[in-house]
Chain A
């Protein structure tokens, strides 16, 4: 192959405190090529995209565009070099028309600043028909289907005068329906014909295998391999992605008692959850996996009173509880570590001490209403040392801690409250490998001590290694249930990723 690469990355390295996000990664892209980029969460895909976009600067390595070394310091540089980025959710102006969106920033106007509407509509129609899109250019973008809006965004990017020759798509299909996906793939095919090179990031492996020419697998910040897509089977791809995983300590088989602490029956949440029934025993870890949109987070929220139940009963420690707000379940000893640590977990402006004891404020108050600061400090200090939180002091604001340490504090506040049932939604998302391992140890320890855990995660490794039982969710239902040992990791991955194709 002697065609010149439009884009070449050589030995790209990016470090974050306590984490090497990218380690000597090489990557190349040919004109008209669709190059898939796959890997589990935290493999380094998004870091790589951010480096291309100039949001992050690499510590080492070189980016070459058309063979010329380039330094990209901000998104404008990236655009000037002919790169365009398409994200999951379109970034368009919903109240403006399709044509206005297509030409945003370079509207057709007269010398006096008036719009040349008919000229602009004509240009828009030409553009749309070239890509075989049947969209009315006068339609408000807010009225379009998601895929159409996405197509408009892509068109805007590639029709720019400085014409994007490199298109980077980050999980473009994750919110699309099957029909919408077809539309997107058709558009991608026409772009390819025009010679646009595409980096296609997705966790839908079938898609990647179908549309890409080559596929690069990232794992823990390293490039594992680059394959020609044709010669690759899905099974091989999965094994490369999962590899030997973060060696999380193998589960010892926690002493699960027969005592059921949480029993859910026929739980329904409008449009989101359907007929969910299960139980959780004392000291048990139940892992819940499933694709994005399968209803995992919704289940957690419904159990915690953050989503309104349509029907169904929830019994905690044998007692039926009418769950309407978090307080109803917190009282019964349930704690919830949310998926989004920053927006739902930590109080960024408060100290480690206050974040750790925020669940205990009332309990720490004297009869006069004053908080017993000494007790508070003592409790926080114990929790912090127990969980191995690394902080400069208890008074340090939590926002200055690393993700892993923040997460330990978030966990700690429920442990201090003596929660006996913990719902953990993606508890290790965005934290480094070392901290992950520590959190796994904590979870195993508390489950051995009798805490029951509902572990929701998109990381199969973590579900597989920690859970006593595993549920696979799809489309708001629990589709499969396995006890430990009933399923291999690769089977589980296949169940999770294929539940889509099983259904449609």
Chain B
């Protein structure tokens, strides 16, 4: 038998119908682009509108400001992307961030050097992630419930620990994590970019990353090909909690204090960013670059409304509408492409 195959490497044939009549509709062209492309257009569209609305928008200072503001949310969103790609969800990121950062801040205040402070924060993240992951895999409690409980537990611990008082007077080195620059580039931006780069490589080029997609796409099939499903799941929750803790450190450094309410409602912003970024709630589909665009879209909305002196109450309203519209457009585009 002659092997009848065709393996030409067309640029990107996702969504290509089997060979037949090719009709070049606009939607057809759209379909051939990577999923992130549509989002990028939305983001740029936003930028254009905003620069018309506010002359200050297109200044370098404002840009840097926006990126720094969204850096900690952006870092937490990376962890959420891991979790959601595996088919789970992590509602506890905001509380985890608060607990880890508050504890770390008190140590910093006592004069513990930055390295120690970071280790403490990340250690707390690891413990919380392990508890989440083990509860979800071994006790088989659904992720939504497990992390909802953890949201409450971690917030409770933080309030007990800090006696509901904002921690101030941090060590200089923790402060600098949020404010200093290297070669003129603010450290939060450097961290943000490096974490996205590492995450992108780990998701697309490592066995671990591909296993996350496999588990999220088809858990049963993953188990059958010998992927250690539980190990993968526990890992993503640890990653999520560690990045939440790290995001907390940067936020604390930027603010110069650890307010008790930090991270409240953060999970919603982060999930919104990931979903806007095209990562499927069902798992197995998406990636961190989409998430970054999602974070940027949310950051821009807040920034503009600030620049335009709109009441923060409207920010919530506009943000809700944008989330809905972005996801609705995206879902419809995807549905047509299947």
A contacts, CB < 8 Å to B: 17, 304, 306, 325-327, 330, 336, 338, 343-350, 354, 358-359, 361-362, 364-365, 369-371, 373, 381, 384-397, 399-400, 413, 438, 441
- Do A369 and B207 touch across chains, with their CB atoms under 8 A apart? yes
- Nearest residue (CB) in A for B214 is A347
- Do B10 and A385 touch across chains, with their CB atoms under 8 A apart? no
Q: Which of B211, B218, B220 contacts A348 (CB 8 A)?
A: B218
Q: Is B28 an interface residue (CB 8 A)?
A: no
A388-B217 contact given A306-B224, A326-B224, A369-B207, CB 8 Å threshold: no
A344-B7 contact given A354-B210, A395-B12, A396-B14, CB 8 Å threshold: no
Question: Which residues of chain B are near A304, meaning CB under 8 Å?
Answer: 224
Q: Provide a sorted-by-A list of 17 A–B residue pairs whose CB atoms are within 8 angstroms.
A: A336-B224, A343-B220, A344-B224, A347-B214, A349-B213, A350-B217, A358-B214, A361-B211, A364-B207, A371-B207, A384-B7, A387-B3, A390-B5, A390-B6, A393-B9, A395-B14, A413-B225
- Do A347 and B207 touch across chains, with their CB atoms under 8 A apart? no
- Do A441 and B210 touch across chains, with their CB atoms under 8 A apart? no
- Do A370 and B206 touch across chains, with their CB atoms under 8 A apart? yes
Closest CB in chain A relative to B89 CB, distance in Å? 18
- Do A348 and B217 touch across chains, with their CB atoms under 8 A apart? yes
Question: Which residues of chain A are near B205, meaning CB under 8 Å?
Answer: 370-371, 373
**7 closest A-B pairs by CB:** A361-B207, A330-B226, A385-B3, A349-B217, A347-B217, A344-B220, A349-B284
Q: Which of B207, B210, B218 contacts A346 (CB 8 A)?
A: B218
Question: Which residues of chain B are near A358, meaning CB under 8 Å?
Answer: 210, 214, 225, 227
Closest CB in chain A relative to B12 CB, distance in Å? 7
How many Å lie between the Cα of A400 and that of B31 in the bound state?
Answer: 14
Interface of A is mostly: mixed
- Nearest residue (CB) in B for A327 is B226
B contacts, CB < 8 Å to A: 1, 3-10, 12-19, 201-202, 205-208, 210-211, 213-214, 217-218, 220-228, 284-285, 338
- Do B226 and A326 touch across chains, with their CB atoms under 8 A apart? yes
A326-B207 contact given A381-B7, A388-B5, A396-B16, CB 8 Å threshold: no
- Do B3 and A388 touch across chains, with their CB atoms under 8 A apart? yes
Question: Which residues of chain B are near A343, meaning CB under 8 Å?
Answer: 218, 220-221
Question: Which residues of chain B are near A364, meaning CB under 8 Å?
Answer: 207
B4, B207, B213: residue with the most chain A Cβ atoms closer than 10 Å: B207
Closest CB in chain A relative to B334 CB, distance in Å? 11
Closest CB in chain B relative to A297 CB, distance in Å? 13
A394-B3 contact given A327-B228, A347-B214, A364-B207, CB 8 Å threshold: no
Closest CB in chain B relative to A219 CB, distance in Å? 26
- Nearest residue (CB) in A for B207 is A361
How many Å lie between the Cα of A407 and that of B336 in the bound state?
Answer: 26
Q: Which of B9, B14, B17 contacts A394 (CB 8 A)?
A: B9
Question: Which residues of chain A are near B18, meaning CB under 8 Å?
Answer: 17, 392, 400
How many Å lie between the Cα of A389 and that of B6 in the bound state?
Answer: 9
Question: Which residues of chain B are near A371, meaning CB under 8 Å?
Answer: 205-207, 210
Closest CB in chain B relative to A192 CB, distance in Å? 42
- Nearest residue (CB) in B for A359 is B225
- Do A392 and B226 touch across chains, with their CB atoms under 8 A apart? no
How many Å lie between the Cα of A1 and that of B12 in the bound state?
Answer: 61
- Do A347 and B221 touch across chains, with their CB atoms under 8 A apart? yes
Question: Which residues of chain A are near B8, meaning CB under 8 Å?
Answer: 392-393
How many Å lie between the Cα of A438 and that of B13 in the bound state?
Answer: 26
Question: Which residues of chain B are near A400, meaning CB under 8 Å?
Answer: 15-18
What 4 new A-B contacts, CB under 8 Å, besides A326-B223, A399-B338, A400-B18?
A326-B226, A359-B226, A371-B207, A385-B7
B1, B201, B221: residue with the most chain A Cβ atoms closer than 10 Å: B221
How many Å lie between the Cα of A362 and that of B227 in the bound state?
Answer: 10
Closest CB in chain B relative to A98 CB, distance in Å? 31
Closest CB in chain A relative to B278 CB, distance in Å? 12
- Do A395 and B1 touch across chains, with their CB atoms under 8 A apart? no
Question: Which residues of chain B are near A370, meaning CB under 8 Å?
Answer: 201, 205-206
Question: Which residues of chain A are near B19, meaning CB under 8 Å?
Answer: 392
Q: Which of A326, A361, A392 contacts B6 (CB 8 A)?
A: A392
Question: Which residues of chain B are near A369, meaning CB under 8 Å?
Answer: 202, 206-208
- Do B206 and A365 touch across chains, with their CB atoms under 8 A apart? yes
Closest CB in chain B relative to A387 CB, distance in Å? 8
Q: Which of B13, B224, B226 contacts A396 (CB 8 A)?
A: B13
How many Å lie between the Cα of A104 and that of B217 in the bound state?
Answer: 36
How many Å lie between the Cα of A364 and that of B208 in the bound state?
Answer: 12
Closest CB in chain A relative to B36 CB, distance in Å? 15
